Amino acid sequence: MIWIVKNLWLIPALPLFAAGIIAVNKQPARKLAATLAIGSLAVGFLLSLCAFSATLGHHGEGVFREVFSFPWIQFGGQWMDLGWVLDPLTAIMLVMVTFVGMLIFIFSVGYMAHDENFMRFFCFLALFAAGMLGVVIANNLFLFFVSWEIVGLTSYLLIGFWYHKPSAAAAAKKAFITTRIGDLGLLLGMVWLYAQTGTLNFYDGGHGCMESTQLVKMATQVTIGGFAVSTVVGFLIFLGAVGKSGQFPLHVWLPDAMEGPTPVSALIHAATMVAAGVFLVARVYPLMAQSPLLHGTMWLDTTPMLIIVTWVGAITAIFGASIAVAQNDIKRILAYSTVSQLGYMMMGLGVGGVAVGMFHLITHAFFKALLFLGSGSVIHGCHEEQDVRKMGGLKKYMPVTFAVYAVGMLALAGFPLFFSGFWSKDEILHSAHNWPVSHIPFLLGCTGALFTAFYMTRQVALVFFGNYRGHQQAGTPSAHAHSHASESSHDPHESPAVMTVPLVILAGFAILLGFVGTPAWPWFDGYLTGEEFKFDLSKLTEPGTLGLMIASAAIVFTGLGLGWFLYGKRPRKTVAEKDVLEAAQPFFYKVLENKYFIDEIYEGTVIRFNAFAAWLCDFADRWIFGGAVMLVKYITVGLAWLYRLTDEYFVNLGFDTGCEALRESGGGLSKLQTGRVQTYLRVIGVALVALIIFLIWGRKA
Amino acid sequence: MNHWLTILTLVPFIGGIVIAGLGADRKNLVCGLALATSLVGLGGALCLWLHFDTSQGGIQFSEQFDWVPSLGIQYFLGVDGLGLLMVLLTAIVTPLAILASWRMDDRPHVYHALILWLQAGLFGTFTALNFFHWFLFWELGLIPAFFLIKLWGGPKRGPAATQFFVYTMVGSVALLLSFLAIRLATGSFDFIELAGLAKSGVLTTKLQAAFGWKNIGLIVFFGAFLGFAVKVPLIPFHTWLPAAYSEAPSPVTMLLTGVMSKMGVYGFLRILLPIFPDQIRQVLTLLLWLAVATIVLSACAAFAQRDLKRIIAYSSINHLGYCLLALFAATAVATGVNNSDLQKAAALDGALLQMFNHGLTASALFLFVALLERRSGGLRGLDDFGGLRKIIPVFTGLMGISIFSSLGLPGLNGFVGEFLIFKGVFPLAPWAAAISTIGLLVTAIFLLTLIQRVFCGPLNARWAKMPDLTTAERFLVLPGIALMFVLGIWPQFILGAVDATVMKLVQQLNF
- Residue-wise pLDDT for B23-62, tens only, equals 777 888 888 888 999 999 999 999 888 888 888 878 888 8
Is the pLDDT at A238 greater than 90? The verdict is yes
Rounded to an integer, what distance in angstroms lies between the CA atom of residue B67 and that of residue A643? 41
Of the listed ranges A622-631, B121-130, B282-291, B361-370, the least confidently predicted one is: A622-631
CB B308 within 8 A of CB B372: yes
CA distance A149 to chain B (A): 6
Distances (CA, A) of B2 to B9, B41, B60, B77, B86: 14, 17, 10, 11, 20
Q: Identify the pLDDT of residue A485.
A: 41
CB A507 within 8 A of CB A385: no
Rounded percentage of chain B residues whose pLDDT exceeds 70? 99
Average pLDDT over residues B117-145: 88
Rounded to an integer, what distance in angstroms lies between the CA atom of residue A59 and that of residue A460? 42
Average pLDDT over residues A216-238: 85
Rounded percentage of chain A residues whose pLDDT exceeds 90? 17
Of the listed ranges A277-281, A587-591, B140-144, the least confidently predicted one is: A587-591
Q: Identify the pLDDT of residue A480.
A: 43
Q: What is the 3-state secondary structure (H, E, C) of A412-438?
A: HHCCCCCCHHHHHHHHHHHHHHCCCCC
Length of chain A: 701
Tell how strand B73-79 and strand B60-68 pair up.
antiparallel
Beta carbons within 10 angstroms of residue A479's beta carbon = 9
Is A75 in the B-facing interface, judged by CB distances under 8 Å? Answer: yes
Chain A residues with CB under 8 Å of B387 CB are 163-164
Judged by CB atoms closer than 8 Å, whether chains meet at B423 and A195 is answered as yes
CB A424 within 8 A of CB A517: yes
User: Three-class SS of residue A204?
Assistant: coil
Which run of H or E residues covers position A70? strand A66-75
| A274 Cβ neighbours under 8 A, 6+ residues apart | A244, A245, A246, A254, A268, A338, A342
Average pLDDT, chain B: 87
Rounded to an integer, what distance in angstroms lies between the CA atom of residue A187 and that of residue B432? 14
Taking CA–CA distances from A630, the nearest residue in chain B reads B163
CB A108 within 8 A of CB A48: no
Look at the alpha carbons of B230, B233, B235, B241 in this order and tell me if their dihedral is positive or negative: positive
Chain A residues with CB under 8 Å of B310 CB are none
pLDDT per residue over B342-367, tens digit each? 888 899 999 999 999 999 999 999 99
CB B370 within 8 A of CB B250: yes
Q: Which amino acid is at B249?
A: P
CB A155 within 8 A of CB A268: yes
B10, burial (CB in 10 Å: exposed 0-12, middle 13-18, buried 19+): middle
- % helix, strand, coil for chain A, step of 5: 75, 5, 20
Judged by CB atoms closer than 8 Å, whether chains meet at A610 and B303 is answered as yes
Average pLDDT over residues A427-455: 89
Chain A residues with CB under 8 Å of B242 CB are 621
Q: Identify the pLDDT of residue A481.
A: 43
Chain B residues with CB under 8 Å of A633 CB are 166
The dihedral formed by the CA atoms of B329, B330, B336 and B340, expressed in degrees to the nearest 10: 140
Half-sphere exposure of A165 toward its Cβ, with a 13 Å CA cutoff? Answer: 14
Is the pLDDT at A626 greater than 80? The verdict is no
Judged by CB atoms closer than 8 Å, whether chains meet at B338 and A614 is answered as no
Mutate to test the interface with B, among A191, A220, A622, A629 (most CBs of B within 10 A): A191
CA distance A175 to chain B (A): 11
Rounded to an integer, what distance in angstroms lies between the CA atom of residue B255 and that of residue B145? 9
CB A28 within 8 A of CB A119: yes
Q: Identify the pLDDT of residue A489.
A: 53
Rounded to an integer, what distance in angstroms lies between the CA atom of residue A172 and that of residue A259? 8
CA distance A157 to chain B (A): 11
Nearest beta carbon to residue B345 from set A76, A615, A621: A76
Q: With b meaning 16 or more CB within 10 Å and e meaning fewer, what string describes A276-285?
A: bbbbbbbbbb
Q: Identify the pLDDT of residue B459.
A: 84
Judged by CB atoms closer than 8 Å, whether chains meet at A180 and B457 is answered as no
CB B359 within 8 A of CB B93: yes
Q: Give A71's strand partners.
A: A81
Chain A residues with CB under 8 Å of B346 CB are 75-76
Q: Identify the pLDDT of residue A484.
A: 43
Task: Give Dmax (Cα) for chain A.
Answer: 172
Nearest beta carbon to residue B341 from set A76, A146, A187: A76
For chain B, the first-to-last Cα distance in angstroms comes to 33
Nearest beta carbon to residue B422 from set A160, A187, A617: A187
CB A159 within 8 A of CB A257: yes
A416: nearest Cα among A240, A546, A299: A546
Beta carbons within 10 angstroms of residue B130's beta carbon = 22
Q: Identify the pLDDT of residue A300.
A: 62
Is the pLDDT at A645 greater than 90? The verdict is no
CB A572 within 8 A of CB A392: yes
Mutate to test the interface with A, among B295, B354, B423 (most CBs of A within 10 A): B423
| A50 Cβ neighbours under 8 A, 6+ residues apart | A4
| B76 Cβ neighbours under 8 A, 6+ residues apart | B62, B63, B64, B65, B128, B129, B130, B190
pLDDT per residue over B365-389, tens digit each? 999 998 888 888 878 888 888 888 8
CB A489 within 8 A of CB A495: no
Average pLDDT over residues B69-91: 87
Nearest beta carbon to residue B503 from set A76, A168, A181: A76
CA distance B99 to chain A (A): 25
Name the pLDDT band for A486 (thresholds 50, 70, 90).
Answer: very low
Nearest beta carbon to residue B440 from set A142, A166, A184: A184
Is the pLDDT at A479 greater than 70? The verdict is no
pLDDT per residue over B186-234, tens digit each? 888 888 888 888 888 888 888 888 887 888 888 888 998 998 998 888 8
**DSSP H helical ranges for A198-303:** 212-219, 229-244, 253-256, 262-266, 273-283, 285-288
Judged by CB atoms closer than 8 Å, whether chains meet at A617 and B449 is answered as no
Q: Identify the pLDDT of residue A59.
A: 64
Name the pLDDT band for A314 (thresholds 50, 70, 90).
Answer: very high
Chain A residues with CB under 8 Å of B437 CB are 184, 187-188
Is the pLDDT at A476 greater than 70? The verdict is no
pLDDT per residue over A488-546, tens digit each? 456 777 888 888 888 888 888 888 888 887 777 777 887 887 777 777 777 777 777 88
Q: Which residue has the higher pLDDT, B42 or A291?
A: B42
Average pLDDT over residues A234-254: 90
CB B331 within 8 A of CB B280: yes
Nearest beta carbon to residue B304 from set A173, A176, A618: A618
User: Three-class SS of residue A259?
Assistant: helix
Name the pLDDT band for A347 (thresholds 50, 70, 90).
Answer: very high
User: Three-class SS of residue B63?
Assistant: strand
Which run of H or E residues covers position B477? helix B471-489
Q: What is the DSSP letter of A517?
A: S
Judged by CB atoms closer than 8 Å, whether chains meet at B411 and A150 is answered as yes
Judged by CB atoms closer than 8 Å, whether chains meet at B444 and A77 is answered as no
Q: Identify the pLDDT of residue B189.
A: 81
Task: Give Dmax (Cα) for chain B.
Answer: 72
User: Three-class SS of residue A88?
Assistant: helix
Average pLDDT over residues A127-144: 92
Look at the alpha carbons of B281, B284, B287, B288 in this order and tell me if their dihedral is positive or negative: positive
Backbone angles phi, psi at A114, to 5 degrees: -95, 5
Judged by CB atoms closer than 8 Å, whether chains meet at B238 and A625 is answered as yes
Name the pLDDT band for A1 (thresholds 50, 70, 90).
Answer: low
Chain B residues with CB under 8 Å of A170 CB are 452
Q: What is the ipTM of this complex?
A: 0.90
Average pLDDT over residues B98-127: 87
Q: Identify the pLDDT of residue A237.
A: 93
Q: Identify the pLDDT of residue B39.
A: 92
Q: Identify the pLDDT of residue B1.
A: 52
Which run of H or E residues covers position A74? strand A66-75
Name the pLDDT band for A674 (thresholds 50, 70, 90).
Answer: confident
Taking CA–CA distances from B391, the nearest residue in chain A reads A164
Q: Identify the pLDDT of residue A145.
A: 93
Rounded to an integer, what distance in angstroms lies between the CA atom of residue A192 and that of residue B409? 20
Is A625 in the B-facing interface, judged by CB distances under 8 Å? Answer: yes
The dihedral formed by the CA atoms of A408, A412, A416 and A419, expressed in degrees to the nearest 10: 40
The phi-psi region of residue B386 (left if phi > 0; otherwise alpha if psi is between -120 and 50; otherwise beta) is left
Taking CA–CA distances from A73, the nearest residue in chain B reads B492
Is the pLDDT at B306 greater than 80? The verdict is yes
Rounded to an integer, what distance in angstroms lies between the CA atom of residue A624 and that of residue B238? 12
Average pLDDT over residues A248-253: 87
Q: Identify the pLDDT of residue B321.
A: 92
For chain A, the first-to-last Cα distance in angstroms comes to 146
> How far is C-alpha A30 from the chain's CA centre?
28
Q: What is the DSSP string of B66-84?
A: EEEGGGTEEEEEEE-HHHH
Judged by CB atoms closer than 8 Å, whether chains meet at A142 and B344 is answered as no
Q: Which amino acid is at A7?
A: N
Average pLDDT over residues A376-392: 83
Is A145 in the B-facing interface, judged by CB distances under 8 Å? Answer: yes
Rounded to an integer, what distance in angstroms lies between the CA atom of residue A384 and that of residue B499? 57
Q: Which residue has the higher pLDDT, A473 or A298?
A: A298
Q: Identify the pLDDT of residue B272.
A: 87
Angle at which helices B4-22 and B27-51 cross, to 10°: 170
Q: Give B104's strand partners.
A: none
Rounded to an integer, what distance in angstroms lies between the CA atom of residue B61 and that of residue A595? 67
> How far is C-alpha B127 from the chain's CA centre?
15
B419: nearest Cα among A233, A317, A142, A614: A142
